[in-house]
Amino acid sequence: MSEPTDRRYGPAPLPQPRGPVSAAVLDALRQPAQDLPAGLGARLDPAEPLTDEDLQLTLFLCYELHYRGWRGVDEDWEWQPSLLALRAYAERHFEAAVRRLVGPLPAVLPGGVPEALADLVAAADGPSLATQLQRRATLAQFREFVTHRSIYHLREADPHSWALPRLGGPAKAALVEIQTDEYGNGRLDRMHAELFRATMQQLGLDTGYAAHLDAVPAVTLATNNLMSLFGLHRRLRGALLGHLAAYEMTSSLPNRRYGNGLRRLGFGEAATRFYDEHVEADAVHEQIAAHDLCGGLVRVEPALAPDVLFGAAAALAVDRLFAAHLLQRWAAERSSLRGSAAPPRVTLRERPQNRVPSPLSAVA
């Protein structure tokens, strides 16, 4: 694979290993595509798959081959059978853990899916990360939050776009409508990934694609791997749409709070535009996602109604784990990033009014 001319758009360099299996996969990816060592999957036996660093990085390594690939890695690895077998083994642990976390869900008839989604969102009782960021978070903590979210937002909408060729009729039309907004209606400067990149620039963060992968913990990777799991399996297309619906239905108020948090810290429109855009756009997307997207899907494929509900519940449950991790670490006056990692500082493009950003202090 040739070296990219612009590291903002990938592929990213390979990260550091986090255990024996991810180390073996990384060693293999540096070579031409070939069979992995026998019995490698058996070394993945995590007690807590959602927070297991080795398992989550192994999945991320495999999944990224279906997105932008890895810098310098033989592209034939994408469909190498032994790597796919290892991925499937890891996915079984991961999916089973997500289903345990979600627990049993109420039965739902196809016509009741939009209402059931609204009930799930209304009952969500996770810790209020958005409130913390709006009212109390330091600049260092806000930079950490943006560092975590960069793993998804720099490829925003891509995981859910896997559903497009798997849908027809009203659900496909609704998804196209949502994704068109996410991709800025074809304008680079309006793509949500680019708006987020501008926020990162204002916060003095490296904006390279997956630049902060080594800094984020397993729970952050799990929020991203969940989307890839749903997106790369046709059998989970209902869960993928439910996941997107949960994201859209829980977006407007938190994004308003994120924007207000940055304004409290002295930042202007260049930093807050990403969040401000979502306040308006996702208020519209919420209705499209619940009624036209998910409702449209189950009108055509009624059997997928439970999967839609599961996908939404999974999105909410895994995000609760993510929020709890950040808030618990901050309450203990520790960094939410791995070890003593801190997002590397680059020159700020815009200084907050009357404030000088201090270096991020990360206490291991």
- Burial of 84-115, coded b for 16+ CB within 10 Å and e otherwise, reads eebbebbbebbbebbeeebeeeeebebebbbe
Helix (H, G, I), strand (E, B) or coil at 14: coil
Pick out the chain residues at pLDDT < 50. 1, 346-364
Q: Supply 239's token pair.
A: 């869960």
Q: Supply 222's token pair.
A: 């799990």
Which one, of 208, 188, 235, 222, lies nearest residue 321 by Cα? Answer: 222
Which pLDDT value is given to residue 285?
87
Q: How far apart are the first and last CA of the chain?
A: 37
Question: How far is Cα 294 from Cα 242, in angstroms, rounded to an integer?
Answer: 7
- Main-chain phi, psi angles of 205, to 5 degrees: -105, 150
Please, where are the H alpha helices in the chain?
Answer: 20-29, 53-64, 81-102, 113-123, 129-135, 139-153, 158-161, 169-182, 192-202, 218-231, 237-249, 252-264, 269-287, 295-300, 305-331
Question: How far is Cα 226 from Cα 243, in angstroms, rounded to an integer?
Answer: 9
- Burial of 135-159, coded b for 16+ CB within 10 Å and e otherwise, reads eebebbbbbbbbbbbbbbbbbbbbb
Give, in order, the Cα–Cα distances in Å from 213 to each of 148, 182, 206, 341: 8, 23, 11, 11
- What one-character DSSP code corresponds to residue 336? S
Which one, of 223, 42, 39, lies nearest residue 149 by Cα? Answer: 223
Interval 41-97: pLDDT, tens: 999 988 999 999 999 999 999 999 999 999 999 999 999 999 999 999 999 999 999
Which pLDDT value is given to residue 343?
53
- Amino acid identity of 337? L
